Amino acid sequence: MFKKRTSLYATLLISALASVPTNQAVAQMAKDKIADNAVAEPVIKVPANFKTTIVADGLGKARHLTVTDRGDVYVRLAKPVGGGGTVFLRDTDGDGKMDEQKSFGDFGGTGIALGDGYLYTTSSTEIFRYKLNGNQEVIDPNKPERIVTGLTDKGTHASKSVVLDKSGNIYVGIGAPSNACQVKDRTKGSPGMMPCAMLDSVGGIWQFKTNQPDQILKDGVHYATGIRNMVGMDWNGQTNSLFIMQHGRDQLNTLFPDMYTDQQSAVLPAEAMYELKKGANAGWPYTYYDQIQKKKIVAPEYGGDGKKEGSSEYIDPAAAYPGHLAPNGLLFYTGSQFPEKYRNGAFIAFHGSWNRAPEPQAGYFVVFQPFKNGKPSGDWEVFADNFAGMETVMSPGSAMHRPCGLAQGPDGSLYVADDVKGTLYKISYSK
């Protein structure tokens, strides 16, 4: 199984504008630019009868995104472009290209969600919402309502992804600014802090109300803990529960060379999918999940030796994937355009690794995980590949594109955002 999956890795513009005028000349220039750039673009490999279209380009560092019932797209940028951190895109003439582009919000970030007549966006420390009109357009882009403030940002794992449930709650992931909660972070021989004191404010999920302004951490519910960093998140309508993708810890080989080889460290620990219920503890930093041994393992900073099994008090993942692929997007597919096998399954955007050296880097693709009755069922498969534009990636900086955000359109198409060149892809199916 593992050898089969690792073999996959070996086979691995519109100028950035803010508040773009919507006159016909600029719109045509945008379309021409997309067409010109398309020649040099890597061909995204998808299954038979699927088609990939670039619908926008050069947006900036495009992170997460959401699509309205009309097919308009809101994209969050890691850093504002021209003073705008959220981009609104619309195809005004039905040709499949986003020729209208507006940006607003002078703060960058990752999280974005639509619900209950509002657009929610995040910075690295706050959550805002914008009131929408009947067409799901922001009414006043200059006056967002701040609903949460004071979230931890220490520069590492600082992005704040968000998910809405159906009961007026918003969930935010707060990553830990640490590898394994060592006394001296990422330092050979430094033991892990026991207990890990930072878990009171990071390394977990917090739940807040969507309609209460200026909530702070103590106003929220500490919903789940023991999660090092989570960027890909989605609400599963079948199970009525939150699912997240964890970024596993790094540097097993360099911090503990007597226990782990370079080859082991390149694929361990697993990037893990968790279903989280209130009060769940996924075990970071005390344990990690080994997808080869198929069990929780005590972290070496806490007395582990690569084999000692972790405590049953920590939940097991719903599914596990090779390490360091960086799962930045998670989407449960509920559309009817794709074949039946995809219904209620999960798409995962793997942003791509940086720390598998001297082994090649891996990821830079979108995978599909089948589900049955609300649980992962069967092997995952690569769904969309070649975003990097090369078979072997030795340095992540050489990748042409890195998939990050996922969203479903009203017609059942799948949208993928790239945060290298700001390319927005639409993947559609027809027989």
pLDDT tens figures, 336-368: 999 999 999 999 999 999 999 999 999 999 999
Q: Which residues in 333-421 belong to E strands, given as ranges?
A: 346-350, 365-369, 371-372, 375-376, 381-384, 403-408, 414-418
Render the burial of 87-118: b for 16+ CB within 10 Å, e for the rest. bbbbbeeeeebbbbbbbbbebbbbbbbbbeeb
Measured distance CA(140)–CA(251) in Å, rounded: 46
Do the beta carbons of residue 244 and residue 332 sit within 8 Å?
Answer: no
Show the tokens assigned to 172.
């935010």
- Measure the CA angle with vertex 40, ends 66 and 430; round to 5°: 50
What 3-state DSSP class applies to 300? Answer: helix
Query: What's the pLDDT score for residue 431?
Result: 87
The 8-class DSSP code of residue 101 comes to: E
Measured distance CA(427)–CA(54) in Å, rounded: 9
Q: Where are the alpha helices (DSSP H) in 69-139?
A: none
**Residue 48: partners with Cβ closer than 8 Å, 6 or more residues away:** none
pTM score, whole prediction: 0.91
Measured distance CA(74)–CA(121) in Å, rounded: 10
Query: What's the pLDDT score for residue 102?
Result: 97
What 3-state DSSP class applies to 178? Answer: coil
Residues of the chain with pLDDT below 50 are: 1-27, 29-31, 33-39
Would you say the C-alpha torsion 228, 152, 109, 143 has a positive or negative sign?
positive
The structural domain count of the chain equals 1
**Residue 161: partners with Cβ closer than 8 Å, 6 or more residues away:** 64, 110, 111, 122, 172, 173, 230, 231, 232, 233
* Domain CATH code at residue 327: 2.120.10.30
Please give the residue range of the domain that contains residue 203: 2-429
Measured distance CA(370)–CA(98) in Å, rounded: 31
**Burial class of residue 374 in the structure, from the number of CB atoms within 10 Å of its CB (0-12 exposed, 13-18 middle, 19+ buried):** middle
- Radius of gyration for the chain, computed over Cα atoms and rounded to the nearest angstrom: 21
24-to-20, 74, 99, 348 alpha-carbon distances in Å: 11, 22, 9, 37
Residue 340 φ/ψ, nearest 5 degrees: -55, -30
Residue with the two structure tokens 């951490």: 217
**Residue 49: partners with Cβ closer than 8 Å, 6 or more residues away:** 429, 430, 431
The 8-class DSSP code of residue 393 comes to: B
Show the tokens assigned to 380.
């995952």
**Residue 175: partners with Cβ closer than 8 Å, 6 or more residues away:** 156, 157, 158, 159, 202, 203, 228, 229, 230, 231, 247
Measured distance CA(349)–CA(333) in Å, rounded: 13
Show the tokens assigned to 30.
């945008």
Show the tokens assigned to 335.
């559309």
